[in-house]
Amino acid sequence: MSDAVVPHRNAQVSRAGAGWFRRALDSDIFYSFRRSKLTMVAAAITVLFFLLAIFASWLAVQNPFDPAQLQLINSRISPLWTADGQSPFLLGTDEQGRDVFSAILYGMRISLAVGIAGVIFAGALGIGLGLIAGYFGGVADSVIMRIADVQLTFPAILIALLVNGVAKSLLGNRLDEMSTLAVLVIAIGLSFWVQYARTVRGSVMVEKNKDYVAAAQLIGLPAPKIMLRHVLPNTMGPILVIATINLALAIITEATLSFLGAGMPDTMPSLGTLIRIGNNYLFAGEWWIVAFPGIALAGLILSINLLGDWLRDALNPKLR
């Protein structure tokens, strides 16, 4: 993006009687959004994926998690437009007679849910620790940041795999689908908190020396209230960018764990699980079992990444 050509639009914001919607349409961010075609396409695809996932139960022809609805008679049917295609299986079926299209919708729901919950968990953990480290400094700061430094040298996927293995070992046979979901969210949260903590700590250290914090301290507000109500809102911009980019990373991590067989089980597949199952039939020529979940995952990640890139540029005042 070039720095000079974007005119300042703030002048119109103060127009009397404009509601929040009007203000949103007039904002700098929306303006830069409209200027980038690629971003608009990415946003449209992301919204489409979210809608597909939310309304999965209405759009799918079967519930792929319910074994009673799967019939072996319908196994390994190729997509509708090929010679052996059969209605209503738009994208074909897999070994167990599971409709690929329905499985993708339900799988995307899981992938998105785990991704979002993982990002929220990582964000809460990271923001909390970052606030404490930045606001109090001293021992708390050095302990938290030391841990962060050490963890940052290890790739997230390794940490997530370890958390997963330990949870499996502790829970053993009690690990059902729902607790697997929880374990995945925790594994992702524990692997991605560092970036939030570092960013928040940095901004808090700048903010806490400003007068408004001193004023809040002077009137005797408790430290947690100052941190959450006064300091935190001023550090949220970069957090939003990290969260968007992290959402793509979290979805990749969940898919990778499931692909490696350390994530969602075959009975309740996410996109990664579907790709792992489909990968076994690649050599038999049944390409659709792996291809469509793969395309869905790639499209989802790519469009979220593009949105994240755009948001980073749009919120960066140096680029305006």
Partner 1 sequence: MLAFTLRRVLQAIGVMLAVGVIAFAMFRFAGDPVSQIVSIDTSAAERASIRKSLGLDDPVLVQFAHYFINAVQFKFGISYQFRLPVSSLLMERLPATMELAICATLFAMVFGILMGVYSALRRDTVLAKLFQAISLIGISLPTFLIGILLIYLFAVTLGWLPSFGRGEVVKLGWWSTGLLTVSGLKALIMPAITLGLFQMTLIMRLVRAEMLEVLRTDYIRFARARGLTTRAIHFGHALKNTLVPVITVAGLQFGSVIAFSIITETVFQWPGMGLLFVQAVQNVDIPIMAAYLLMVSLIFVTINLVVDILYTVVDPRLRATVGRAA
* Residue among 57 and 279 whose Cβ is closer to partner 1: 279
Which stretch in 146-154, 199-207, 216-224, 236-244 sits in contact with partner 1 by CB under 8 A? 146-154
Give the binding-site size for partner 1 (rule: CB under 8 A).
36
Q: Work out which of 256, 265, 312, 320 binds partner 1, going by CB under 8 A.
A: 256
CA distance 262 to 299: 23
Could you say which residues in the range 21-50 bind partner 1, by CB under 8 A?
Answer: none
What is the Cα gyration radius of the chain? 23
Least distance CB 234 / partner 1 (angstroms): 29
Please, what is the minimum distance in Å from the beta carbon of residue 200 to partner 1? 23
Shortest spacing between CB 238 and partner 1, in angstroms: 20
Q: Which one of residues 45, 113, 116, 302 is an interface residue with partner 1 (CB under 8 A)? A: 302
Q: Which is nearer to partner 1, 47 or 158 (CB)?
A: 158
Q: Are 272 and 263 in contact (CB under 8 A)?
A: yes
Choose, by CB under 8 A, the member of 20, 283, 317, 318 that binds partner 1: 283
Of the pair 127, 167, the CB lying nearest partner 1 is at: 167
Please select the residue that binds partner 1; options are 142, 236, 261, 316, rule is CB under 8 A: 261
Residues 160 to 189 in contact with partner 1, rule: CB under 8 A: 161-162, 164-166, 168-170, 172
Total count of residues recorded for the chain: 320
Calpha distance 53→271 (Å, rounded): 12
Choice from 114, 194, 216, 290 touching partner 1 (CB under 8 A): 290
Tokens 């969260």 correspond to what residue?
243
Q: Does 297 bind partner 1 (CB under 8 A)?
A: yes
Under rule CB under 8 A, residue 259 binds partner 1: yes
**Rounded-to-integer distance, Cα 285 and Cα 280, Å:** 10
**Chain residues that interact with partner 1, rule: CB under 8 A:** 150, 153-155, 157-158, 161-162, 164-166, 168-170, 172, 248, 252, 255-256, 259-262, 275, 279, 282-283, 285, 287, 290, 294, 297-298, 301-302, 305
